[in-house]
Amino acid sequence: MSPRASTRERILDASLELFNVQGERSVTTNHIAAHLGMSPGNLYYHFRNKQMIIAELFAAYEARVDGFLRRPQARALTVADKTLYLEALLAAMWHYRFLHRDLEHLLAADPRLAKRYRLFAQRSLASAQGIYQGFVEAGVLQMSPAQIETLAINAWIILTSWIHFLCTAAGAASASLSEDMLRRGIYQLLALEDGFVTAAARPQVQVLLDQFQVPLSFD
Amino acid sequence: MSPRASTRERILDASLELFNVQGERSVTTNHIAAHLGMSPGNLYYHFRNKQMIIAELFAAYEARVDGFLRRPQARALTVADKTLYLEALLAAMWHYRFLHRDLEHLLAADPRLAKRYRLFAQRSLASAQGIYQGFVEAGVLQMSPAQIETLAINAWIILTSWIHFLCTAAGAASASLSEDMLRRGIYQLLALEDGFVTAAARPQVQVLLDQFQVPLSFD
């Protein structure tokens, strides 16, 4: 890695950490530079403004989700795959939690990001439908194509709105979000399929439900 | 109604209409006054700032939802009640759609409104659980208490995030939202219970599902 690439990475890492803990609105590029013991001029050399940093963090998030949100070819899905999908979704949501928290505001501020987000959402919805279809073919779920389409949309909304729900309805502060609170969001996602699990897969899915069930406390 | 109360009502009605169509961010108190052919001073006499108008519109929305989101005492629920709840939710979401569209921004700008919203959310979640419990007792749904708690939370998130989903993922513009697009949100809500409907209630619930199913188009 060249020294220049390395500085770039350090800026992205520090920005992500500060955005996640303090909220993107409260963090300026000057804060980020100060946090890194770097001059603002050095930071501007790599990123002209905060929007560019956000766009690059979003691209990394998008690449990560695109990487795991796909149906494996040439083999049937199992409940073990479901565990992997859910853990991967949880890890991505936790790692990039500021994106979920501040999304409305971020998209309103940047029309190019809004367009990119829309394409990402539509791609993710198509992938989710393919994965649910895979679980139907594997005998884990029993659903019609119309139910799969509806489920994929509800799954997207629950996942992308969970942190917002915690912060608005449950009274959580951005800085006090814990990975456990996000785990409950994955439980809510899994619960969407609850009524469609086949009798054969029920015992294994119940283990998974228990694994993600975290009590929810309201402030 | 006194002339003063009437001016107050006119300001609230005009604000709601402008916020709904143009988005709350694009509308200033000067726009509202001009729309009513009123001097800004006259408007300020009734509302010191836009935040006060929003708080009063939110209170009206809250009172409306509190009014219908309750389980009737002393009689069993029927699928006909479900239709009434869904139509009432649709009408309230449509009438106050700017609140759903711009919520994150509105709550960030007003900590008192954020607190009030939190209490409203928790009250609504408790009411929703009571209503779902009523449908279980009436033999329409078959669910455990844990499933009811989870379903109520998912229902809240789908309803309150639906317009946001349309605007961010489906590419709808605020001004082009139609009641039909919101109707699809009610379908998504109803679909959450799909896997828990009893065999006895299935034919009636299927009629209801068909009634709310609107194709969703992505821009």
Is pLDDT above 80 for B174?
Answer: no
Q: Does B180 touch chain A (CB under 8 A)?
A: no
Within 10 angstroms of residue A79's Cβ, the number of other Cβ atoms is: 16
Lowest mean pLDDT among B3-7, B84-88, B118-122: B3-7
Region B48-62: mean pLDDT is: 97
* Residue A164 to residue B168, Cβ atoms within 8 A: no
- A13-35 pLDDT tens trace: 999 999 999 989 999 999 999 99
Higher pLDDT, A28 or A218: A28
- Chain A residues with CB inside 8 Å of B155's CB? none
pLDDT of residue B218: 83
Q: Are B50 and B56 in contact (CB under 8 A)?
A: no
Whether the complex's predicted ipTM is more than 0.90 is answered with: yes
pLDDT of residue A3: 56
pLDDT of residue A102: 82
Taking only Cα atoms into account, the Rg of chain A, rounded to an integer number of angstroms, comes to 19
Region B4-32: mean pLDDT is: 93
Minimal Cα–Cα distance from B7 to chain A, Å? Answer: 33
pLDDT of residue B73: 86
Instruction: Give this prediction's pTM.
Output: 0.95
Cross-chain CB nearest to B191 (options A122, A150, A218): A150
What's the token pair of residue B110?
């007003």
Within 10 angstroms of residue A169's Cβ, the number of other Cβ atoms is: 23
Reported confidence tier of residue B114, pLDDT bands at 50, 70, 90: very high
B14 secondary structure, DSSP code? H
pLDDT of residue A2: 56
pLDDT of residue A218: 83
What's the token pair of residue A138?
């594997």
pLDDT of residue B176: 86
- B135-148 pLDDT tens trace: 999 999 999 999 99
Is pLDDT above 90 for A219?
Answer: no
What's the token pair of residue A159?
């996942």
Reported confidence tier of residue A4, pLDDT bands at 50, 70, 90: low
Minimal Cα–Cα distance from A100 to chain B, Å? Answer: 11
pLDDT of residue B55: 96
Which residues in chain A (55-84) have CB-CB distances under 8 A to chain B? Answer: none
pLDDT of residue A15: 98
* Distant-in-sequence, close-in-space partners of A202: CB < 8 Å, separation ≥ 6: none
Size of interface A-B (CB pairs under 8 A): 113
pLDDT of residue B5: 61
* Residue A171 to residue B118, Cβ atoms within 8 A: yes
Q: Are A61 and A120 in contact (CB under 8 A)?
A: no
Is pLDDT above 70 for B90?
Answer: yes
Region A125-144: mean pLDDT is: 97
* Residue A114 to residue B164, Cβ atoms within 8 A: no
- A73-118 pLDDT tens trace: 889 999 999 999 999 999 999 999 999 988 888 898 899 999 999 9
pLDDT of residue A104: 80
Region B191-195: mean pLDDT is: 96
The mean of the pLDDT values for chain A is 94
